[in-house]
Amino acid sequence: MAAIKTIGLLTSGGDAPGMNAAIRAVTRSAIYNGYKVKGIYRGYKGLVDDEIVDFKTQNVSNIIHHGGTILKTARCKEFKTDEGRQQAYENIKKHGIDALVVIGGDGSLSGARQFASEYDFPIVGLPGTIDNDLAGTDHTIGYDTALNTIMWCVDRIRDTASSHDRLFFIEVMGRESGFLALNGAIATGAEAAIIPEISTEQDQLAELIERGFRKSKNSSIVLVAESPVTGGAMGLAERVRKEYPQYDVRVTILGHLQRGGSPTAQDRILASRMGAAAIDALMEGQRNVMIGDDDEKIVYVPFSKAIHNDKPIDRELLEILRRLSI
């Protein structure tokens, strides 16, 4: 493999708090170790459209505490085509980029994997998504902040729920996974979490009602993971109105509130460690791996293991939730 001199860096897919901390860590670690850094704007779109600039340490000053991403992010259809990736490769050569660090979720790392295999090009990925749905890492960058935002919001909704004796379905993000809903439910003392991992096995709503739901309480909060599999908060509320009209049901969809905001200390530290590890990985000759954390230790996870792989939720947490909501 030719020696790496210049490292390109991009953020792609959905933004997540902590991406800026990761950008800072990758840039500064790379420069510290003698590499040049090129910042690529708007994810793969900037690679295709040639929005690529030199990045110095000052470019990443004063960003660690901001949500979003200073490199911007985008979704890019062209990168899914052979011609788009060819154009991206030409721009990579034009700017003398020898390796890429890609910060993003499942889709972004799938694109990285495809590109790396087609062009035999070294890429290291960082898991940047609030959904925590990448396998091989205990946490993704942004997840902890989103969880804290959910907690903040639900605490406020609880005041209204209890003042009015209402049943609230609160929809949270998570794509096809229930990490935010389940852990959010534990953190807020919610009645239940309705999550896609369980929806195909059992009727969680019917079970909730049957087990004497709200027997000893005057209000209830249920967190619902957005997903066609759960039916979302709207779908469930519709069902309750039809099947259990005795309940005064309300819906709140937290939506993009969950994405932004200043990252928590945990996310800043995780992003800083993972960003530094991305440069270590390249120096060690690693390629086509995602940086993960496993029991607080940094690990290199092959793209094939991280992407499109189910990451199981902790079923013990479901049991704890059930036990604590009596």
Residues tagged active-site: 131
**Rounded to whole angstroms, how far apart are CA atoms 102 and 109?**
7
Pick between residue 129 and residue 227 the one whose CB is nearest to ligand ADP. 129
> Considering the complex, what minimum distance in angstroms separates the CB of residue 109 from ligand ADP?
7
> Considering the complex, what minimum distance in angstroms separates the CB of residue 309 from ligand ADP?
14
Instruction: Sheet containing 36-40: give its strands across.
Output: 52-55, 36-40, 6-11, 99-104, 123-127, 289-294, 297-302
Roughly how many angstroms between the first and final C-alpha of the chain, as a whole number?
Answer: 60
Residue sitting closest to ligand ADP (CB): 107
Helix, strand or coil, per DSSP, at residue 110: helix
> Considering the complex, what minimum distance in angstroms separates the CB of residue 292 from ligand ADP?
16
Give the interface with ligand ADP as residue ranges (CB under 6 A).
12-14, 44, 75-76, 79-80, 104-108, 110-111, 114, 129
Give CA separation, 101 vs 44, 68, 200, 290, 317, in Å: 12, 17, 37, 10, 34
**b/e sequence 92-113, b meaning 16+ C-beta within 10 Å:** beebebbbbbbbbbbbbbbbbb
> Considering the complex, what minimum distance in angstroms separates the CB of residue 175 from ligand ADP?
8
- 200-203: long-range contacts at Cβ-Cβ below 8 A with a sequence spacing of 24 or more? 200/229
Pick between residue 12 and residue 188 the one whose CB is nearest to ligand ADP. 12
Q: Which of 187, 132, 178 is nearest to 315 (CA)?
A: 178
Pick between residue 124 and residue 221 the one whose CB is nearest to ligand ADP. 124
**Rounded to whole angstroms, how far apart are CA atoms 40 and 111?**
15
> Considering the complex, what minimum distance in angstroms separates the CB of residue 306 from ligand ADP?
12
**Rounded to whole angstroms, how far apart are CA atoms 109 and 291?**
11
